[in-house]
Amino acid sequence: MKKFNVGIIGCGRIGKVHAESITYHIPNAVVKSVSDVRLDGVKEWADSLGIQNVYSDHKEILNDPEIDAVLVCSSTDTHSVISTEAANAGKHIFCEKPIDYDLGRIQSTLDAVAKAGVKFQVGFNRRFDHNFAKINKVTKDGVIGEPHVIKITSRDPEPPPVEYVKVSGGIFLDMTIHDFDMARFQAGSEVEEVYAVGNCLVNPAIAEAGDVDTAVITLKFENGAIGVIDNSRRAAYGYDQRVEVFGSKGAVEAKNDTETTCSVSTEEGVVSEKPLYFFLERYMGSFVEEMKQFFAAIENDTDTAVQGIDGLKPVLIGLAAKKSIEEGRPVKISEIEALM
Amino acid sequence: MKKFNVGIIGCGRIGKVHAESITYHIPNAVVKSVSDVRLDGVKEWADSLGIQNVYSDHKEILNDPEIDAVLVCSSTDTHSVISTEAANAGKHIFCEKPIDYDLGRIQSTLDAVAKAGVKFQVGFNRRFDHNFAKINKVTKDGVIGEPHVIKITSRDPEPPPVEYVKVSGGIFLDMTIHDFDMARFQAGSEVEEVYAVGNCLVNPAIAEAGDVDTAVITLKFENGAIGVIDNSRRAAYGYDQRVEVFGSKGAVEAKNDTETTCSVSTEEGVVSEKPLYFFLERYMGSFVEEMKQFFAAIENDTDTAVQGIDGLKPVLIGLAAKKSIEEGRPVKISEIEALM
Amino acid sequence: MKKFNVGIIGCGRIGKVHAESITYHIPNAVVKSVSDVRLDGVKEWADSLGIQNVYSDHKEILNDPEIDAVLVCSSTDTHSVISTEAANAGKHIFCEKPIDYDLGRIQSTLDAVAKAGVKFQVGFNRRFDHNFAKINKVTKDGVIGEPHVIKITSRDPEPPPVEYVKVSGGIFLDMTIHDFDMARFQAGSEVEEVYAVGNCLVNPAIAEAGDVDTAVITLKFENGAIGVIDNSRRAAYGYDQRVEVFGSKGAVEAKNDTETTCSVSTEEGVVSEKPLYFFLERYMGSFVEEMKQFFAAIENDTDTAVQGIDGLKPVLIGLAAKKSIEEGRPVKISEIEALM
Amino acid sequence: MKKFNVGIIGCGRIGKVHAESITYHIPNAVVKSVSDVRLDGVKEWADSLGIQNVYSDHKEILNDPEIDAVLVCSSTDTHSVISTEAANAGKHIFCEKPIDYDLGRIQSTLDAVAKAGVKFQVGFNRRFDHNFAKINKVTKDGVIGEPHVIKITSRDPEPPPVEYVKVSGGIFLDMTIHDFDMARFQAGSEVEEVYAVGNCLVNPAIAEAGDVDTAVITLKFENGAIGVIDNSRRAAYGYDQRVEVFGSKGAVEAKNDTETTCSVSTEEGVVSEKPLYFFLERYMGSFVEEMKQFFAAIENDTDTAVQGIDGLKPVLIGLAAKKSIEEGRPVKISEIEALM
């Protein structure tokens, strides 16, 4: 069996998750090299996984002719540049979301990828979640007929630091972007128009940073379906991640995952478990699965499961949501595309 | 429409429940007369329902030629005598459970009923519960194949007064008797052998009264199925009434009923409702339904849903369970029948 | 005990439901008279409940000095006129929803009620539903903190006849109006702005009648909370009625009611019950409860649970939703009020 | 960090599971050597995990002074002999269940372990299952008070081959033995007496082999609690593994694990997922956890989580159950111990 040599650029939390997924769960891939601009502790961690090379400059990875594929897990502002370099170097690319917040840079990245003819997969991991993948399958199998309404509940257990909010592009681009991808995935159609309402109800500092922490977003899809997403930066009971697709013949919905199926009955009531705490717990399986499918796409020379266009579209929707809340009106995606 | 004239003998809690069911829910029956040995408050209550006659002597009811049917809701020790008198008077009979604890008196009652050719229904109301009736239907429809195991969880919210335990015949005759009926109902077969274990874990005074308050009873059925019942006199979280039938093609189970479907999620966990508090709340629908079916059997001259034999069998099983726990061994029903 | 004499104007489905609730469940009220413009079958039905008088002209009821309270259950277009007449006649009034679709007529009705000083309750029965009343209690008790998001799922099992849609005022006024009331009830705040999107995905004839059959409506509340309602005229699995309130300390949600708690496990999967079929099944308890509280308000001379303003506000919201979908923009309630 | 060198004796399904758990999840242990009497395919598998040595004779492992611990995963009839040899060689031992079916051989194994002073853990993995460990924690924390009833539902998706049944010691020793361990674990007390009933309802060939395929077993515990287990060799809907502990202050129960939390609502009903298919899917997490705790016990020189006595007791209970069903009477554990 040919083993693909992989380089991981950026060894933060998600880079490490992918390295472990590949090492433990992807028999036909091996992490040969990693790089990070800050190397404290990286060497020890890399050793523990048997990773051969640790670099401070990602170009060492791109220049290594034995490297077949790279994972771009560096800071968001570098995704498009490094992906473009990697494409030019002929490497297959797994790029963490978002590709960029700048539409021009996204487009030029996708152009470079197209020109190079390499595989390109964007890290919208939730498509690979066991629950949401099952919803998709049920819908695609026609069990619930034509989709009419896609409902997504997506609430974080804690707001991020305000410093992060200031540079992240705001809730629609750092948090809801996953839900926009999920909505497209489940609707099987493109969003035409967005309307967002929101408020700052969790932490006033978020309002000072110019953002909201509680939002409801309505999406009109080309196929007539309607999407609705509700977000909060803080659910006291934990990470609330539910999806429901309602269609002409029925509905399919996924409840939260929990640590156990136990319930305790006492005089106080019947108590069951809260949702799994946060995304690493909740979506661990999906991180493994997206790696599996990325390397399967390389091996079988098939389309990746989340392609370049899938990286672009949610950013368009996010920018439309931002404009919608700023201007207090529904915004068409075509308005945003016209700015590209 | 012919309206059946009904007399209710005994106006305690259950007599009143039946009177209201008939008044409000049975269009072809009217409660004409009631009797009770203690009349305090009965007249006012009877007036509020428009009941014509209130007697202290039930014979006034039996002697009234306009009365078509009687409900025997008096104290347990009078059930067999009054039922026999009612049969002799040609009245249809709904008799609260148990008919008696004495096998000879049960038999002579059933003989009188048979001789008179009147309808006779025993008050095993749980058969008419929406959940347990559905289980029965699913099983009878063959959805789960042949029944292999019948599991009944039956726990009261509070133990009865010890004075009651002393005269009730004990847990197997005052409480489990309902579960024995349920087991027969769901198994569609007769019990051959009983093994009971039990302990006094709730209230030591119950042990002093010669009884247990926690028990597990195993039943062997003629058709090869196995029944298992677990009882407690006190479930801290309320009235726990669940049934599961496991068969060759699957299983059907009923969870507890609750006041609402609400759940509350906070940092503490996800809290849902406790079971409905006790039998009047939990089984109210079944009390109405058993009346409906009793009067339907009279009107259509069909068999009643819970016949004389259904009143006898659970007493046999209860006596076997009692003997089993006393002698520490499985006891065959035929051993008890031999005593009749 | 003083018994209130009640007249019911309009003996359609809902008038009959109320008559039975009063007869069977409200000890301090009696239905003395009923009226309907079409009397076929009404006499027989009235007899079966022991109702004394049956009129074709509701004025006979209003002119009867013994009548304390009337229930206005006639066709929607007569609600405001009859309620005004009843107020002028000094009768307490329970008026089915909506009071009217015309804001001026609503206002003049409320004026007449205020002048007469009679009790006035509007038939938004869902507030009295066991599940939704519990949600309200949990929220009011502060268990989930300040409400941030109110989510309402409200789907009918079958669309109404197109003829009805043509005269009903459309989905927002005949169906969503209940959800608008629910949103206000649970938010504890007034709606400021409405945005509605919708499509005709169930039955093209509904589009021809100028209406949608699938809709998502976003509400901005004065207290900063956000409401979101999703409607469909047809859920293949039945009547889907769920509410969730998400707040600063947690969330409370109500699932659908079902006929039983049974689930059946076979090779095919684990199958549980569909929601109760339609509003009569689902909300029967709430119809009884709203009557209880109406007569309690009369007896104790307290405010009714659903007052005149509660009849007006959902109509305002409904008209705003209609304008929103027509003009493709969010509409402020104040815009609609300015038309009054 | 000191890494423990591990040898795995027996490379069947469970030996492979443990090797992977150690390789991927136990940082302070490494599988140095494996052995199996049949080596086809073992070398390739061992290579893929980077295991250094593959032997056909397990003595090569025992003679290697660098080996700190061995996992005895060979066929059941060799567990006691190999464990004794390993103890004599001074290796820490993880022994798959059961140690043996012969009480004398179990005792001599435990004696050898005691003499050698090595760690010894028995492979009752279900104690480490997330659900059942949580039940244990809830019970130990006193949340439900004193345990009164321990209920275990344990049903396999398919019966084993009849050839296996003939040599396995029968259902009580090959299947229920896990449930006996679970009952002891959750009751926190020893079993005094056993009563078993059973039937052959799934496959007549099992009866011909002298065994039952459907059983209910009642256990009396020293602390007064009562245990009840129901088994079937075939649940049409899959692997049914549920535990409930009912106590003086409440109850805790674990439902089955499922592949997803999805439910599909259509005209047919609301369908959710069946239980995970069989023990490898259901208990995978517990296999990892038992390894973690085994190596933690070695590292910290603490007692193992499942000790020698825990390997002996379920065999005693199993033999008592067998005798009970053969003789149709309750059997005391002391009767079986007297045979040792």
ipTM, 2 decimals? 0.95
Cis amide bond preceding A98, omega within 30: yes
Exposed, middle or buried, A141 (CB in 10 Å: 0-12/13-18/19+)?
exposed
Q: Do C255 and B267 touch (CB under 8 A)?
A: no
Per-residue confidence (pLDDT) for residue C340, from 0 to 100 = 79
Say yes or no to pLDDT of C1 above 70. no
Per-residue pLDDT band at A1 (split at 50, 70, 90): low
- Percentage of residues of chain A with pLDDT beyond 70: 100
Q: Check residue D283 and give its pLDDT.
A: 96
Average pLDDT, integer, range D114-141: 98
Q: Do A260 and D143 touch (CB under 8 A)?
A: no
Q: Choose among D97, D104, D77, D95: nearest CA to D337.
A: D104
- Give residue D236's pLDDT: 98
DSSP string over D245-256: EEETTEEEEE--
Inter-chain residue contact A237 with B273, CB threshold 8 Å: no
According to DSSP, the residues that pair with D244 across neighbouring strands are: D151, D253
Q: What is the mean pLDDT of residues D51-58?
A: 97
What Rg, from alpha-carbon coordinates, does chain A have? 20
Question: Considering just the CA atoms, what is the radius of gyration of chain C in Å?
Answer: 20
How, if at all, do strands A226-232 and A147-155 pair?
parallel
Q: Is the pLDDT of residue C53 over 80?
A: yes
Kindly give, in sequence order, each residue whose CB lies less than 8 Å from that of residue D106, ignoring residues fewer than 6 positions away.
D80, D98, D99, D100, D311, D312, D315
The residue-averaged pLDDT of A36-54 equals: 93
A253 pLDDT above the threshold of 90: yes
**From A202, A226, A251, residue closest to C237, measured CB to CB:** A251
Residue A149: CB partners within 8 Å, gap ≥ 6?
A: A225, A226, A227, A228, A244, A245, A246, C214, C216, C230, C232
State the pLDDT at residue C27.
Answer: 87
Confidence of residue C69 (pLDDT cuts 50, 70, 90): very high
pLDDT for B1 beyond 70:
no
Considering only alpha carbons, which residue of chain A is nearest residue C194? A197
**Chain B residues with CB inside 8 Å of A265's CB?**
235-237, 274
Select from A158, A180, A182, A326 the least CA-distant residue to A254.
Answer: A182
- Per CB-CB distance under 8 Å, the chain B contacts of C48 are 27
Q: In the predicted model, what is the mean pLDDT of residues B207-236? A: 97
Of A218, A234, A237, which is closest to C218 when you measure between CB atoms? A218
- Is A294 a residue whose pLDDT tops 80? yes
Is the per-residue pLDDT at C54 higher than 70?
yes
CA distance B165 to B205: 10
Residue D140's pLDDT band (cuts 50, 70, 90): very high
For residues C120-148, give the mean pLDDT: 98
pTM over 0.80: yes
Nearest CA-CA distance, residue D232 and chain B, Å: 9
CB atoms within 10 A of CB D50: 10
Chain D residues with at least one Cβ partner in A under 8 Å: 24, 27, 48, 130-131, 134-135, 138, 143-144, 249-257, 259-267
| A309 neighbors A172 (Cβ within 8 angstroms) | no
- Asked whether the beta carbons of residue A271 and residue B267 sit closer than 8 angstroms, the reply is no
Would you state the pLDDT for residue D1?
A: 57
Give the tens place of pLDDT for each residue, A175-196: 999 999 999 999 999 999 999 9
Chain A closest-CA separation from residue B272 CA (Å):
5
**D237 neighbourhood in chain C, CB within 8 Å:** 265-267, 269-270
User: Confidence class of residue C120 from pLDDT cuts 50, 70 and 90?
Assistant: very high
| Residues B274, B240 contacting (CB under 8 angstroms) | no
Give Cα separations from A66 to A83, A121, D288 (angstroms).
Answer: 18, 20, 35
Q: What is the mean pLDDT of residues A109-118?
A: 98
Which residues, other chains included, contact D278 with Cβ-Cβ below 8 Å and sequence gap of 6+? D156, D157, D238, D239
pLDDT tens-digit readout, C287-330? 999 999 999 999 999 999 999 999 999 999 999 999 999 999 99
For residue B2, what pLDDT band results from cuts at 50, 70 and 90? Answer: confident
Nearest CA-CA distance, residue C313 and chain A, Å: 21
**A274/B269 touch (CB, cutoff 8 Å), yes or no:** yes
Q: Identify the residue whose tokens are 């409702």.
A: B273
Q: List residues of chain C with CB under 8 Å from any CB of chain D.
A: 235-237, 265-274
Mean pLDDT score of chain D: 96
What is the model's pLDDT at position C270?
A: 97
pLDDT 10s digits, A129-154: 999 999 999 999 999 999 999 999 99
Among all residues of chain C, which has the CA nearest to that of D267?
A: C237
For residue D85, give every residue at least 6 positions away whose Cβ sits within 8 Å of its Cβ, in sequence order, or none: D59, D62
Band (pLDDT 50/70/90 cuts) for residue D339 is confident
Rounded CA separation C319/C340 (Å): 12
Q: Which residue has the higher pLDDT, A169 or C242?
A: C242
Across the beta sheet with D4-9, the strand order is: D53-55, D29-35, D4-9, D69-72, D92-95, D120-122
Q: Give which of B137, B132, B112, B130 is closest to B292, Cα–Cα.
A: B130
pLDDT for D221-278, tens place per residue? 999 999 999 999 999 999 999 999 999 999 999 999 999 999 999 999 999 999 999 9
Residue C270 is nearest to which of D237, D265, D267, comparing CB atoms?
D237
Beta-carbon pairs below 8 A across chains B and D: 100
Question: CA-to-CA distance for A239 and A175, rounded, in angstroms?
Answer: 12
Confidence of residue A218 (pLDDT cuts 50, 70, 90): very high
* pLDDT at C339 (0 to 100): 85
End-to-end CA distance of chain A: 44
φ, ψ (nearest 5 deg) of residue C214: -135, 130
Q: What is the mean pLDDT of residues C52-74?
A: 98
Candidate from A222-226, B36-40, C122-126 with smallest mean pLDDT: B36-40
